[in-house]
Amino acid sequence: MKPKIAVTREVFQETLDRLSQHFDVSDNQTDKILTPTDLANLLHDKVGALTALTDPIDESLLLKCPRLKAVCNIAVGYNNIDVPACTKRRVMVTNTPGVLDATTADFAFALLLATARRVTEAEASLRRGEWERWKLKQFLGADVHGATLGIIGMGRIGQVVAHRSRGFDMRVIYHNRNRLDPATESAFNAGYADMETLLGTADFVLLMAPYSPATHHLIGAPQLALMKRSAIIINMARGGIVDDAALIVALKNRAIAGAGLDVYENEPQLNPEFLTLKNVVLTPHIGSSSEATRKKMAMTAAENLIAALTGGTPANLVNAPTSS
């Protein structure tokens, strides 16, 4: 008899086919959002789970699912999972780093360009039938070429963005908890700056830092006040890193020029005040959403789960002590 696993959200058929070679798979191809009770009922007799960021894996759920041995997230982030609780119960946790770096970096530039050049605002005006003639001052935006890009969180994706920025002749400054080595800085032509200097200097501030209690509301009213009135902030990281209420105030008051957001606090219930603003571009957490990349993410998570439950060590194990 094959071990029982569950896939908590809709995935590609090829992912299910791969998992079915090893496991008795319960799926959720209707993509129903599971309540904590639904999730516990689904996983109570399973040894493994393929999960998404929408699935809270916490102490309460683990108590109800004593057979669980592995939880494999289809995401780089795993703040939906209580890793210490899993480690204590010897449940392996994995994520999917690496496979989405280039795609997410592409989208960071898409969001940056759309915000700088007011693409969504201009398109909405055109669709409303408001374009009557060419005007010299129509939808004046900001140049990206030659501008200063400040990256907060210069990890894998941040470094790919820095590489992309060369095509726009941008100056790159960055802030990390730990400074990069000189060779890496040189490779990306990036200079280190403290947070205050970066915020006060950058024309575009790109957030790529991971979410944790330490980075909750990393960008709030005091930090936004340091930015230039002409500056634009782009959040590609996680909701909660930015104090959305403070950002809305800054956008309303034109304390900064604009924002491009792919993530939000309490998503998908974003603050409705965002919808009233013209100087913000909003997308629904689709930074890694190319077909090829999402398929790679799902299959990477599946391979992690197969390794975890067939005696191997998953390639992307987050809590290594559980493997012994």
Task: State the catalytic residues.
Answer: 238, 267, 285
Please answer whether residues 121 and 139 qualify as being in contact, where contact means their C-beta atoms are separated by less than 8 angstroms.
yes
Q: Which residues contact 68 (CB under 8 A, 6 or more apart)?
A: 43, 46, 47, 48, 49, 62, 89, 91
3-state secondary structure of 313: coil
Structure tokens at 205: 């501030």
Rounded to 10°, the helix 13-20/291-309 angle is 10
Give, as one character, the DSSP assignment of residue 79. T
Separation between Cα atoms, residue 256 and residue 323, nearest integer Å: 48
Give yes or no for a contact between 60 and 85, defined as CB atoms under 8 angstroms apart: no
Angle between helices 101-116 and 156-165 (to 10 degrees): 50
